[in-house]
Amino acid sequence: MKFITREKINDSLKEIFKYSKKQVFIVTPYIKLHDEVKNELKRLETKDKVHVKILFGKNSSDKVKSLPLSDLEFLKNIRNIDIRFEESLHAKFYCNEKYGILTSMNLHSYSQNNNIETGVIFKKTDRVYKESLVYFDQVFFNAEWYYSKTPTYKKIFFGLFKRYVGSQETVNFKEPTKITSISDQTGFCIRTGAKISLNHKWPYHINAYKKWVVTGNVKYEENFCHFSGKKSFGKTSFLKPILPSEWEEYYKIYKRSKFADRTE
């Protein structure tokens, strides 16, 4: 068992994901996938033998604050995955079949880039590995089921072997179909200019959103201002859906609404 800090935690996480052959277990309240983490997890899109378990938490009334839909869409490409939710989760634990990490760090790009984080890494032969896995397996088993994808197989060569033919998806979450407006004023889809509910946190028409979420690039240059509908010529994005010249007027409306985040 070894004490590690942020840089080594990041390196160890990538190794846990990269070299897994049977399982990946991720326990973290908040998820926002770093590009380097995505690169390692992406290989699991073709590895049906690796069972990926993810337990996230907090924000029970709005779970996308803990697991953004763009990251969920990415994770849904993994062939063999179970995702569950536990509101009271605060612990962070990551493991494969050989190594485990107990740490202060969420699987969140900001934490991985900026925070002072510490943890301990241990091998399967260490006692703490078994104790941690048994405990978190129990927490996972009792948590609220959220999403799963289970591999299906076809027997070949007289039943002596089996071949992966696909995965059965089971969903227990709702993607947004109607976005609550912050006021009676109409907003505009930043990609198509179509009229939608005014809310800078959801600046796409649902059809445009389904296309955007495939990549989830929050800085992708879009065409319109969400507030005024003016052409933005690439100056708006999911991250900044309102033109700077329009932001002050919009923000006055937003701060008066019941949806305003008082910590902003």
Residues 229 and 111 placed together within one structural domain of the fold: no
Residues 48 and 108 placed together within one structural domain of the fold: yes
Domain holding 49: CATH number?
3.30.870.10
Residue numbers of the domain that contains 207: 186-256
Residues 57 and 147 placed together within one structural domain of the fold: yes
Give residue 179's pLDDT: 65
Residues 45 and 123 placed together within one structural domain of the fold: yes
- Cα dihedral 12, 17, 22, 23 sign: positive
Position 111 pLDDT exceeds 70: yes
Residues 155 and 60 placed together within one structural domain of the fold: yes
Q: Which of 136-150, 212-226, 233-247 comes out lowest in average pLDDT?
A: 212-226
Residues 132 and 91 placed together within one structural domain of the fold: yes
88 occurs within a structural domain: yes
> pLDDT-derived band of residue 180, with 50, 70 and 90 as boundaries?
confident
Q: What is the pLDDT of residues 53-107, one digit of tens each?
A: 999 999 888 888 899 888 998 999 999 999 999 999 999 999 999 999 999 999 9
Rg (CA), the chain: 21
Q: What is the pLDDT of residues 10-33, one digit of tens each?
A: 999 999 999 999 999 999 999 999
Pairing between strand 222-224 and 161-171?
A: unpaired
Residues 53 and 157 placed together within one structural domain of the fold: yes
When pLDDT is averaged across residues 132-154 and rounded to a whole number, the result is 91
Residues 73 and 152 placed together within one structural domain of the fold: yes
For the entire predicted model, the pTM comes to 0.70
* pLDDT > 90 in the chain, percent: 64
When pLDDT is averaged across residues 201-226 and rounded to a whole number, the result is 84
When pLDDT is averaged across residues 193-222 and rounded to a whole number, the result is 85
Residues 193 and 76 placed together within one structural domain of the fold: no
Amino acid at 258: K
Total domains present in the chain? 2
Give residue 264's pLDDT: 43
* CB count in 10 Å sphere of residue 179: 18
Maximum mean pLDDT: which of 99-108, 160-169, 173-182: 99-108
In sequence order, what are the beta bridge partners of 144? Answer: 85
Give residue 174's pLDDT: 67
Of the candidates 121, 86, 80, the one whose C-alpha atom is nearest the C-alpha of residue 100 is 121
Kindly report the average pLDDT of the chain as a whole number.
89
